[in-house]
Amino acid sequence: MRRVLKISSFVAGVALLSGCAQHNQALYNYEDYSDNYYASKKNMTPDSSLALQQSIEKAIENADDSTSKRVPPGMYANLGYIYLKSGKSKEAIDNFVKEKTLYPESAHFMDRMIHKIEEMEAKSK
C-alpha cells in the first residue's frame, strides 16, 4: 500500500510539473505595437506615426506566430485610421472592411467610418 502511494504521488508530481513546463504562446502577436503606440501618443511626430504604422503592418504579417493565427482586434481599424489621416482613403476603407470581416462585432462602427469617408469624398468632387 505504501509503495502504491509513493508511486501515485510521484506520477502526480511529474504530471503537475510537466503541465508547468509548457510554453504558453500569446493569443495574438502584437510585435512592438504597444511601445510604438505609446511613443506616438506621447510625442506625435511623422516619425512616430510611421513607426506605429510599420509595427502594425509587421504584426499583421506575423499573425500566424500567435495561438489564434489572427490579427488582434482593432489592428486593421487602427491601420485604416492611420491611412485615413495620411489621405489614403482607399487603403483606409480596405482595412476597415478587413476589421469588420474578421471581427463582426465592429461592423457597425466600421460601416459608419466607411460611410463618413464616402461622404467626404462625394463632397470633394
pLDDT tens figures, 77-121: 999 999 999 999 999 999 999 999 999 999 999 999 999 999 999
Instruction: Determine, yes or no, domain membership for 38.
Output: yes
Same domain, 58 and 77: no
Contact (Cβ atoms closer than 8 angstroms) between residue 99 and residue 114: no
Instruction: Determine, yes or no, domain membership for 62.
Output: yes
Instruction: Determine, yes or no, domain membership for 83.
Output: yes
Instruction: Determine, yes or no, domain membership for 17.
Output: no
Instruction: Determine, yes or no, domain membership for 12.
Output: no
The residue range of the domain holding 90 is: 73-125
Same domain, 102 and 125: yes
Report the C-alpha gap between 97 and 72 in whole angstroms: 15
Query: Exposed/middle/buried for 120, CB within 10 Å: 0-12, 13-18, 19+?
Result: exposed
Q: Is 0.85 surpassed by the pTM of this model?
A: no
Domain count, the chain: 2
pLDDT number for residue 15: 61
